[in-house]
């Protein structure tokens, strides 16, 4: 008889196996989960942690704060302020044009222009949207929560004195790198060294936590100039007023400390606003004309003709020179005294009356070498080495064969070219008893172990005579002028007027007007040079155009520097007859 299992028993066994299969499957699944957790936490933990960190932890540059530029009294002339730059990843930007328009409105851009920029950069991962925004405005842009839009901190250069110091300081570009002037010349000193840090950013690219500093940034160093911003403002104001009044082509003024060669003020016209360079249409306005532009110094050079004359031993201040009849033939050319016949005059009167004939006769009697040697010793034909970019040397004639007319005209400032700074340096030698000091734009730039650098290039006894003669040029009792140039202060100086070279030679209608001098004459504190290029109108002589600017700057400087008066003179109106 066959044994067979009843149906109920068969069903029970089948169900039992199914339950075991389920438990086995659950156990395997649990083991798999445990194993995965084990591998994630212990085997791949460091790798996965690094991958996660890479999506939130970033290495960011730490911008180096550019050093300040200050004047001799610590007044800030250039500072860097924090700003924000909005940038975008075009690949992450919303395809909705409405979002792009919202972004354009937030950053103050034309919407069509921004859309076009995004399309042009569609395959890139970085583009600037707007640079140098105020941080509060940048936060408002980020608050729009637009995908692919980020911000980062930068610095923007600010110049408190604006166009007053523009030519001296120059400017830095949008990346805070020096481009002109002191900003360029001392860029390595000012720029510092960037650092690096680790930060955690949110999905908007904003830093929510700083983890650590990898390399600290080294900020740029403060640069202290020899400028006195009070004198800089004074010189700028007075020069600009004359420049506008005379409708001149350009103008420059330089003020030196007579004692050590430091530049106290240097200004030019036209100037520019360093904060709005995009509005500049005349790029000549960017030039620091006091060091880049050359001109023939005219009668201001007669001072050094007098030095050569006294140095030769053939002349003193009272030596007579016959200038009759006011016109002298030199080779095939003529030298004149502006249609005047001064007759027989002294060496001192050569400067007071500014006689071309007397100056020419001295030079012809001495020959070209003595005069040229004096000019080289006081700095003509050599770079002042002040450190300004674009500084020019000028032209010192060195003819193989010197013709008489070349010797004659050199004696009254033709055939040689100089910058305003070079002329100021030359006159500082006169003011400083024959000692030539290097020119510097840095405070205490010429101090070496407590001593001021300098070299005796002209004998003190020679200089003393020339100093007396230069006092006479602006002394009302000698020159015949109506009043003192700078009331209550003794002054020494020389005017100059030179014709300008045009397409067909010297143009009788165009002139440069100059004045170079120092004050107080008995104990010089400052040397001032004024050059007004091509003033318009009937007045063109240095005594009419440049000397009044010198007077106003020198008068204001004496008060600002608290220099005690050394001469009692109640008059306050200046008219000079010496030209």
pLDDT at 575: 45
| CA gap 488, 508 in Å, rounded | 38
Q: Is 84 a known active-site residue?
A: no
Query: Mean per-residue pLDDT for 82-101?
Result: 86
pLDDT confidence of 55, banded at 50, 70, 90? low
pLDDT of 205 above 70: no
Contact 358, 331 (CB under 8 A): no
Query: Mean per-residue pLDDT for 420-446?
Result: 95
Q: Residue 510: which of 526, 480, 532 has the closest Cα?
A: 532
Query: Mean per-residue pLDDT for 166-191?
Result: 94
Q: Residue 575: which of 441, 444, 484 has the closest Cα?
A: 484
Query: Mean per-residue pLDDT for 117-141?
Result: 88
Q: Residue 426: which of 416, 437, 415, 440 has the closest Cα?
A: 437
pLDDT at 11: 57
- In the numeric block, which tokens belong to residue 317? 């201040």
pLDDT at 154: 87
Of the given ranges (248-252, 332-336, 445-449, 520-524), which has the lowest mean pLDDT? 445-449
pLDDT at 573: 47
| CA gap 193, 188 in Å, rounded | 9
pLDDT of 536 above 80: yes
Query: Mean per-residue pLDDT for 173-191?
Result: 93
Secondary element (H or E) of residue 264: strand 263-269
- In the numeric block, which tokens belong to residue 491? 């002054």
Structure confidence by residue, pLDDT tens digits, 484-534: 789 999 999 999 999 998 888 898 889 999 999 999 999 999 999 999 999
Query: Mean per-residue pLDDT for 269-273?
Result: 95
Report the relative pairing of strands 69-70 and 223-224 from DSSP bridges. parallel
Q: Which residue has the higher pLDDT, 135 or 362?
A: 362
Q: Which residue has the higher pLDDT, 255 or 475?
A: 255
Catalytic residue among 80, 172, 271, 299: 299
| CA gap 280, 300 in Å, rounded | 34
pLDDT of 382 above 90: yes
pLDDT of 27 above 80: no
SS3 535: coil
Q: Which residue has the higher pLDDT, 205 or 385?
A: 385
CA angle 170, 290, 544 (to 5 degrees): 135
Q: Which residue has the higher pLDDT, 435 or 6?
A: 435
pLDDT confidence of 481, banded at 50, 70, 90? low
| CA gap 496, 264 in Å, rounded | 23
Question: What DSSP string describes 380-436?
Answer: TTS------TT----B----SS--HHHHHHHHTT-S-BB-HHHHHHHHHHHHTTTEE
Query: Mean per-residue pLDDT for 168-184?
Result: 93
Contact 372, 425 (CB under 8 A): no
pLDDT of 418 above 70: yes
pLDDT at 229: 97
SS3 199: strand
pLDDT of 283 above 90: no
Domains of the chain plus CATH, in order, are 59-224 (3.90.1310.10), 229-560 (3.40.710.10)
């Amino acid at each position: 008889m066959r044994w067979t299992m009843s149906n109920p028993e068969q069903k029970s066994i089948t169900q039992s196996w199914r339950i075991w299969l389920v438990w086995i499957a659950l156990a395997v699944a649990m083991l798999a989960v445990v194993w995965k957790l084990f591998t994630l936490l212990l085997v791949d933990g460091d790798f996965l942690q690094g991958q996660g960190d890479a999506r939130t932890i970033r290495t960011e540059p730490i911008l180096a704060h550019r050093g300040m530029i200050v004047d001799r009294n610590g007044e800030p002339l250039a500072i860097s302020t924090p700003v924000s730059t909005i940038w975008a990843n075009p690949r992450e930007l919303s395809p909705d044009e409405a979002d792009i328009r919202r972004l354009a409105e937030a950053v103050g851009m034309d919407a069509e222009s921004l859309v076009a920029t995004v399309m042009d950069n569609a395959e890139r991962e970085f583009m600037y949207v707007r640079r140098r925004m105020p941080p509060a405005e940048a936060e408002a842009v980020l608050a729009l929560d637009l995908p692919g839009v980020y911000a980062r901190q930068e610095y923007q250069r600010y110049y408190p004195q604006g166009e007053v110091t523009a030519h001296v300081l120059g400017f830095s570009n949008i990346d805070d790198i020096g481009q002109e002037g002191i900003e360029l010349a001392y860029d390595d000193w000012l720029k510092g060294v960037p650092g690096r840090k680790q930060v955690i950013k949110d999905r908007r690219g904003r830093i929510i936590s700083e983890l650590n500093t990898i390399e600290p940034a080294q900020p740029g160093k403060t640069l202290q100039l020899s400028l006195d911003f009070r004198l800089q403002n004074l010189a700028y104001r007075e020069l600009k007023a004359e420049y506008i009044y005379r409708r001149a082509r350009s103008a420059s003024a330089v003020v030196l400390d007579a004692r050590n060669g430091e530049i106290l003020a240097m200004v030019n016209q036209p100037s520019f606003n360093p904060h709005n360079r995009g509005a500049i249409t005349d790029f000549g306005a960017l030039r620091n004309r006091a060091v880049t532009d050359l001109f023939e110094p005219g009668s201001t050079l007669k001072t050094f003709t007098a030095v050569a004359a006294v140095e030769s031993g053939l002349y003193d201040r009272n030596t007579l020179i016959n200038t009759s009849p006011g016109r002298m033939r030199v080779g095939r050319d003529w030298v004149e005294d502006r249609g005047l016949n001064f007759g027989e005059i002294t060496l001192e009167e050569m400067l007071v009356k500014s006689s071309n004939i007397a100056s020419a006769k001295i030079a012809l009697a001495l020959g070209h070498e003595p005069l040229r040697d004096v000019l080289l010793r006081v700095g003509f034909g050599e770079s002042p080495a002040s450190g300004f970019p674009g500084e020019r040397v000028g032209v010192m004639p060195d003819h193989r064969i010197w013709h008489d007319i070349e010797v004659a005209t050199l004696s009254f400032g033709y055939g040689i070219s100089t910058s305003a700074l070079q002329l100021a340096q030359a006159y500082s030698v006169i003011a400083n008893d024959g000692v030539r000091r290097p020119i510097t734009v840095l405070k205490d730039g010429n101090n070496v172990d407590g001593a001021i650098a300098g070299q005796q290039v002209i004998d003190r006894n020679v200089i003393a005579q020339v100093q007396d003669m230069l006092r006479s040029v602006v002394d009302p009792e000698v020159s015949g002028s109506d009043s003192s140039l700078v009331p209550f202060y003794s002054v020494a100086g020389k005017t100059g007027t030179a014709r300008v070279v045009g397409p067909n030679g010297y143009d009788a209608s165009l002139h440069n007007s100059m004045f170079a001098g120092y004050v107080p004459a008995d104990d010089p504190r400052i040397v001032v040079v004024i050059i007004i290029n091509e003033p318009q109108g009937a007045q063109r002589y240095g005594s009419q155009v440049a000397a009044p600017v010198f007077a106003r700057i020198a008068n204001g400087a004496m008060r600002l520097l608290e220099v005690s008066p050394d001469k009692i003179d109640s008059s306050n109106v200046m008219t000079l007859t010496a030209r």
